[in-house]
Structures are given as structure tokens and as C-alpha cells.
Structure 1
């Protein structure tokens, strides 16, 4: 046959070396990731290219790039290595408690307020899992960045990711108690056009808000005096009397309960959005990822941050512990 046969162990080492270099586009960075020397990686990639009879990488003194053959081979390598990792993780679950490193991406503010406080209980329950939490608001690429699970808020784009809804996020119009003084009363949604508004750019686009009341739905034009993707900045601006903001109950529940903020147009709210746990598609979900998602579903059931009578919490919904469904199967929710 045209392809030289290598020992399976050598082939897997070479594929891992090539995959690391191809993702980093740097021998030095890949060497740090794998904790080997750059010269070792270079030898392994060269051995793989010799066995395949094709150049996988273009090397210059300044940069590394993929050849056409390398791009195709990387896709297959990633699939093989991922399935091997999944198989190891699945079988390891039969040897006792789930174990291993678990990488989770969580929204920055929600993660700090409502996931970080749960970590000690999770670690006590699963002491053999090493938890690595990344707090950031951008949508990470789970496969390329090697995250096991991501927690996301809002509508999910249609994709092959598997998602599980953990809770509902509700958002209300709020302002400081002193804010409305000296201004025309807000009696109906259209009145917002005459008031300064504080806009959360992650959920809301342009200069409009969509509001709902029962089955009614209306879109109103607003005048944003502050637009940011940081919800805490909006909360502080609202507390400072700068205007009306649409904020999630997980952020302002305590403020509403203590009276630091009040609801504006109490019969109206922004459309609800979901809190989801998502993970890459796989027939073999690792035990460590499964128990983490089950743990969050258990602890976040019924929107526990809605303690205040001011937010009128609904009766807690029962949450199952079954696996998620593909977004392609059900669409974004």
C-alpha cells in the first residue's frame, strides 16, 4: 500500500502533534500546550508527512500554515482524537465517581453571581473532577477551544450543538425610585420615547425595545443614552437615576426587594429568554459533563434568584435530568 504502516501508538502521537500545531499555527505554542519540545513536535509532524506522502504544513521562518491536504487531514484527526477522548471518558465513568478535567465557559456576570457560589458544593460532591471555569460573555467555539460545556443566555443559533434548558431569564423595565420625578409619567410603552433609556446591546439591537403583556406584543422606539454589553454597568447607571433600563431578574432581584430599584410599566416586560447548557454533539457524553449539567439543573430549577415579591415569581417548573436535544432537531429556543 502507498501509506507506510506505523505502530498505532506512533500514529496517534503524530496525529496529536500535527493537530496541536495546526490549531495553534505555531510549533512553540503547541509545544507549550503538550509540554514537549518544539523539535519533538517537528520530528513527529515530519514523520507523519513522510508516512502519508503529503505535506500537511507550510513552514517559513515567520509563520506556519495548512496546506490543502493538511486542512482535510486536520478535520479527520480532530474527529478521531475527539472520539478517542470520549471513549476514554465514558469508560472511566464505570470505574467509580466521574473524574478528570472539566472545562466550562459561563457568562461573566451570571457566572459570578449564580454559578460560582455553587462550585464548592459541586466540588464536594465530585472530588475527582478538576473544574476549570472560564468567565466570558463571548460565544466560545466549544470544539476548537476544547470546552466540555458552555452556559448561554438568550436565543441559540441553529447548530449541531446539543442544548438543555436550565431555567428561564425574565427581564423587566426598572429605574431608581427618584428617577421619574420631574418627568412626564410613564403610563404606556409609547411614553418611553420621551425618556432616557439604558440599553443592553447583547439582547437588544438598534433603538427599539419589544415589550409583551400577556398575549400583547409591541415594539417601541427608545432614546438610548447608554448602550453597553455589560449588564452591571447598566444596573449601576439605573441605580444612579440615569434612566430606564431593561434588566434580568437574576441581576436586580435584591434591588427590587430592597427598593433600590422599582419596576416601570409593571404590566409589561421584555420577552423571556432561556438559560441553556450546551455541549458538542456526541453519542458519548462524558460522565463529568453529564453530572455537571444535572447538578446545575437541580440547583437552578425554578429560577432561584427570583426571591422578591416584586418580581412575582411563578411556580417552579419540574426539571428532568434527561440528556439534551440537538438544536437542529428543535430549533433555537
Structure 2
């Protein structure tokens, strides 16, 4: 039978990328952590971790199992909080850091709905694409794209998105459709200076993500501006599905070289361990987990578009 303590040990190893650090976090020994993870793998009949002399990483099934364990443990924590009397009226200031790039499409509709449901909560929201160190800041939670940073933070996966190379039909008719990364040298690039890769494109080539330099036509730190430029026929943009879905579904943009789209990026909500018992934080977590699927349909819409083309 799978034990909750085994799940706790596994989650700690994933979050710290170390059996030693996981043992320190849980105030036990490395051998105890190793035994609990081994017991868990034996019960499941699957390898959850890739172990080497230098690092510990989740296997593919381990990454999925980790996300499910996090939700199970949070549910147990929420149940314990209820019994302990934390089910009081949700009120007070809740300070949230959100990514500016996705604010309009993702966080604004969700947080507006949260504010309507919990009128006693004062939302203090800062939209900025810069990395926020929650350990040194006044924020209660942050919505983060990609890397999670500090292993001492608790992270809850919310949703994912893809990055697609897109251009307008008029541009592709005039300049031709690129078929390979080498073809991009003959095209105008609309470059997001704030994206991962520092202005270059991250493409999936021969089974790995590689950086691709392109000829710049427009460089900006505003994804929306670059998508509008692509719709106007000014070049090719690598755009997140969150922002590009409407233009793709309406036909203003077309995906090129879909096989070069890198693997999906994750969006998570992260918070310090010191906020774990905060009723405001737990309420926000539950709300986002409940409502995210109502708006996070961008990849499904694009997949349906590709299936029909």
C-alpha cells in the first residue's frame, strides 16, 4: 500500500533535486528518504527518478506523478486546515506577482472573477515579466512561466502552452513558406526580446531544443505588438499559443514548420512555505485549479485547427 510519507519524500526530492536536501527539509536522514522513494517506486512498478552521481531528475512518468502528488498533498493539507479551524471568512490583502505578457489573456479574467467571488479580499497585483524572488519580496504568491527557481517554494502546475512560428497568409504568399530552419535566413523575424533565449528563437531540431538566430525586422518586449505586426504581414513571429490562438483560428496567421515547435512550457503558481497555512493563498489555489480549464483552451483550439487543415 502506498504511504503518504512516501509521497512526501518523493515530492521533496523532486523539488530539491537532491536526496540530501530532501532529508534536510523533512528533518530525517538521506537513507530514510531513499528507502521511501524506493518503496513508492516498487508499489507503483515504475521508475520515478533518474539518479546519477551529480543530479536527480524526474522521469517522464515521474514528472506527471509529481504533479498529481502535489495536488493530493495540498488536498490533505486543506482538509487538515479545515479541521483545525482555518475555514474562516477569507479576507485581507493578497499580493500577487503575474507575468505581464500573459496578464490580459490569462490572469486578468481569472483574478477579476476571484475578486467578485471574494469581495473581502484586497488584491494587490503587480504585472511584470521580470523574475520575482518570493523569498526576498512582499508577495504572497506568483504566477510563473517556465523555470520555478527556488526549491524552497511550493509550486502547483496550472496549465501549459506551446510556442509556434506564425506568419500571415499574405506574407507567406509574397515570401514563400519556410520548410526548414535553414530557410528562416531568408525571412524577416519579429523578435520577442523578453522571451527565453534572449531574442533568439528556441526550435525543436533533431530531438532537442536549439537556439536559432534570425534576421530581425522588429524587436520588442511586447508579444501582443509582435503578433499584430505578423498579422500585418511584416514577418514571422514565434508566439505563445495563449496569445496567438485567436489570430490562428480566425485565419489572420498560419503556423509554419509545426514540427519545430518546442515542447510545451508550464505555467505554475508558486508560494513560500511560510504561506502554506494562509487561508487566502489556499483559497486562491483552489479557485485557480477549479477555473483554469474554463479559459485555458488555446492549445486545444489550435490542435483542432491543425486536425482540420
With structure 2 as the length reference, what TM-score do the two structures score?
0.64
Matched, 1:230 2:215: no
| 1:250 aligns with one of 215, 223, 242 | 242
Answering whether residue 263 of structure 2 is matched by residue 268 of structure 1, we say no
Asked whether the equivalents of residues 202 and 212 of structure 2 are also in contact (C-alpha less than 8 Å), the reply is: yes
Q: 2:102 aligns to what?
A: 110
> Which has the larger share of helix?
2
Question: CA shift at 1:266, angstroms?
Answer: 2.7
User: What residue in structure 2 maps to residue 66 of structure 1?
Assistant: none
1:296 and 2:305 are equivalent in the alignment: no
Q: Which moved more, 1:143-152 or 1:241-250?
A: 143-152
Within a 5 Å distance, the mapping from 1:188-203 to structure 2 comes to 188-203=180-195
Contact preservation (8 Å) 1:253, 1:308: no
Measure the CA separation in 1 of the matches of 2:89 and 2:122: 12
Report the equivalent of 1:46.
none
Aligned with 1:285: secondary structure?
A: coil
CA distance in 1, matches of 2:225, 2:249: 20
Residue 312 of structure 1 and its aligned partner are, at CA, apart by 4.1
SS at match of 1:288: helix
Q: 2:155 aligns with which of 143, 153, 163?
A: 163
Tell me by how many angstroms 1:218 deviates. 5.0
Contact 1:167-1:302 within 8 A present in 2 as well: no
Question: What 5-or-longer segments of structure 2 have no aligned partner?
Answer: 1-80
Sort the Cα spacing of 1:284 and 1:109 in 2 relative to 1 into closer, same or farther, 3 A. closer
Residue equivalent to 2:164: 172
Structure 2 residue matching 1:156: 3-state secondary structure? coil
Q: Is 2:270 aligned against 1:278?
A: yes
Partner of residue 32, structure 1:
none
Q: Deviations over 1:241-283 (max 9, x none)?
A: 1111110111011111111111111333133211011112327
The within-5 A match list for 1:1-333 is: 94=86, 96-205=88-197, 208-212=200-204, 215=207, 217-282=209-274, 284-301=276-293, 304-306=296-298, 309-312=301-304
1:85-120 CA-partner distances (Å, limit 9, x unpaired): xxxx99996362222111111112312222222234
Give the RMSD, CA atoms, in angstroms.
3.0
User: How far 1:213 sits from its partner (Å)?
Assistant: 7.0
Secondary structure class of the residue paired with 2:237: strand
Instruction: Show the counterpart of 1:6.
Output: none
Q: How far, CA to CA, are the matches of 1:127 and 1:281 in structure 2?
A: 26
Max radius of gyration: which structure?
1
Aligned residue for 1:114, secondary structure, equals helix
Tell which deviates more after alignment, 300-309 or 279-288: 300-309
Structure 1 unaligned blocks of 5 or more: 1-88, 315-333
The C-alpha deviation readout for 1:116-173, integer Å capped at 9, x for no partner, is 2223432343232222222222223334431101111122334422221111121100
Question: 2:96, 2:126 within 8 Å by CA — same for their partners in 1?
Answer: yes
How many residues are paired up? 226
Q: Bigger shift: 295-304 or 182-191?
A: 295-304
Paired residues of 1:106 and 1:136 also in contact (CA < 8 A) = yes
**TM-score, scaled to structure 1:** 0.60
Write the distance in 2 (CA, Å) between the matches of 1:307 and 1:170. 7
